[in-house]
Structure 1
Amino acid sequence: MTVGFSGDVAEYYAKFRRGYPPQALDALQTAFALNTDDIVLDLGCGTGQLAVPLASRVRSVIGMDPEPDMLRLAREAAVRQGVQNATWILGADTDVPALGELMGQRSLAMAVIGQALHWMQHETLFRALSPLFRSGGGVAVLSNGTPLWLQDSDWSRSLRGFLEHHFDTKLEASCGTAAQDRLRYAQALKSAGFEGVREVVIEYSDELSFDQLIGGIYSAVPADELPGADDRPAFAEGIRQSLPPDQQFIEDVRVSMLVAQIR
């Protein structure tokens, strides 16, 4: 798992990345019958958008991420919200077998992977995770909406055009949110021995401010490609000028939870 979400990018991630609606947490709790004796792993936890709110529903949460800055901000978020049952571990998907050794006889109730699986070797990961769960436990792969520049709206298409020109690249990767991605993950889960593979979907609309739009972009740019602090006002103004005038930035958010269990 190789990413570049450090420094200012991590700060933007913490401030502007959308959290998950309570209905999503309710659905996860129901799917895995989570209770206050359970341990949950949030793999690729980022700045804690899933781990922190999940903590109140289980005995403990392990947040694992390869970026120290992400973990620092996740820890700070937990402290602000009074969460005391979260443990933060520096590690990637390839470190899951070592985590299993550290846990000894303890079992996981759930491993959640939120908007991060496209960075991981998912087939190998699912096989490594499968022996770590209690009966009825398993994996939930979450996607939290289509990338800002790949949505079906005039403003999103204009944004994509600006970004492709600025970074001299084609922006086509769906970051694991496309239907073909979900199908590929589902097949890999079945091959790894998981059962009851199914998708739970929650949909809602949200309106972004321009600052939220820019912050969301900065949260997704690798640290070595993020415009410098002095260049960001001009970059933001370039985006503003590229977008349709007087248009609201409405997102139709589709939260997909691909759920799979070990019996």
Structure 2
Amino acid sequence: MSRGFRGEVADYYQRYRPGYPAEVFDTLTDVFTLTDNDTAIDLGCGTGQLTIPLAERVRSVIGMDIEPDMLAHARTTAGERPITWLLAGDTHIPHLIPLLGHRSVGVITIGQALHWMDHNTLFHNARPLLRDTGGVAVITNGTPLWLQDTTWSRALRTCVEDLLGHPVTATCGTDTESHQRYTHSLTTAGYAVHTATVSYTRHLNIDHILGGIYSALSPEQLPTDRDAFATKLQHTLEPHQPYTEHVTVTLLLGVA
């Protein structure tokens, strides 16, 4: 079932969602002892921000998403890299066991998408796929633009709430409570859980902020008059420059 990441929203997602620092992939490689003999799965892969760099560390990656438009962008960007793209979601993980074999996968990554999934069932279903010292990595790439502790973020939240007509509080699984819930679920499913963080700084402009917001809306929620909304946003945020984002990437690493 579509979650709205289609059409223009997928375009904004491809263009404006940030990638991940190299240290994230160094951590995955070290914790799960990844080699060029490994297969990885990137679940909820979107337009490939995790999938494509991960392909440089292993033999092959399977990128899975339920949105055809997201996969189309990912496929184009990936070029000839060793990636297989599947129109599928977390409920299809058990169907990969007959295809790939038991204990055949080095890591299953989930980047900023677990809040859409049944994580308890997923963590249980993933275990038969994972080899020794392999595991599941839940990765969140910072706090949403509208929930950060800066004056420009608070001003942005006001604009978005005016657009949507209701408060915006969604953390997309980046908050401490969600991390604790995921950690408990991983532990209950039999994983040894480690946590790592990687920090970086982004310097944004109005286009980055607009694109980031539009990439998180459904096509039906996008403003009808984009120019008017952009002008309003710019006037609202202008007193709060510079638009600096201090990002902490959090990795919950469940070793099977």
TM-score with structure 2 setting the length: 0.97
- The 5-angstrom pairing of residues 118-133 of structure 1 reads 118-133=115-130
User: Secondary structure at the residue paired with 2:190?
Assistant: coil
- The 5-angstrom pairing of residues 90-101 of structure 1 reads 90-101=87-98
C-alpha separation in 2, matches of 1:98 and 1:25: 27
Contact kept, 8 Å, 1:2 with 1:119, in 2: the verdict is: no
- Note if 1:139 corresponds to 2:128: no
Q: Which blocks of at least 5 consecutive residues in structure 1 are unaligned?
A: none
1:200 is aligned with what amino acid? A
Counterpart of 2:244 in structure 1 is 250
The percent identity for this pair of structures is 49
How many aligned residue pairs are there? Answer: 256
- The 5-angstrom pairing of residues 1-263 of structure 1 reads 3-79=3-79, 82-83=80-81, 85-105=82-102, 107-195=104-192, 197-228=193-224, 231-245=225-239, 247-262=241-256
C-alpha separation in 1, matches of 2:255 and 2:246: 29
User: Secondary structure at the residue paired with 1:149?
Assistant: helix
User: Secondary structure at the residue paired with 2:56?
Assistant: helix
C-alpha separation in 2, matches of 1:224 and 1:67: 16
C-alpha separation in 2, matches of 1:164 and 1:184: 28
Contact kept, 8 Å, 1:154 with 1:244, in 2: the verdict is: no
1:244 deviates by 4.2
Would the alpha carbon gap of residues 186 and 3 (structure 1) be closer, same or farther in structure 2, given more than 3 Å must change? Answer: same
C-alpha separation in 1, matches of 2:148 and 2:211: 17
1:135 is aligned with what amino acid? D
C-alpha separation in 2, matches of 1:135 and 1:157: 45
C-alpha separation in 2, matches of 1:125 and 1:171: 28
| Cα displacement string for residues 101-148 of structure 1 (whole angstroms, at most 9, x for unaligned residues) | 322356110000000001111111111111110000000000001000
1:239 is aligned with what amino acid? L
User: Secondary structure at the residue paired with 1:157?
Assistant: helix
1:100 deviates by 2.0
**RMSD between superposed Cα atoms in Å:** 1.2
User: Secondary structure at the residue paired with 1:56?
Assistant: coil
Q: Which blocks of at least 5 consecutive residues in structure 2 are unaligned?
A: none
1:235 deviates by 1.2
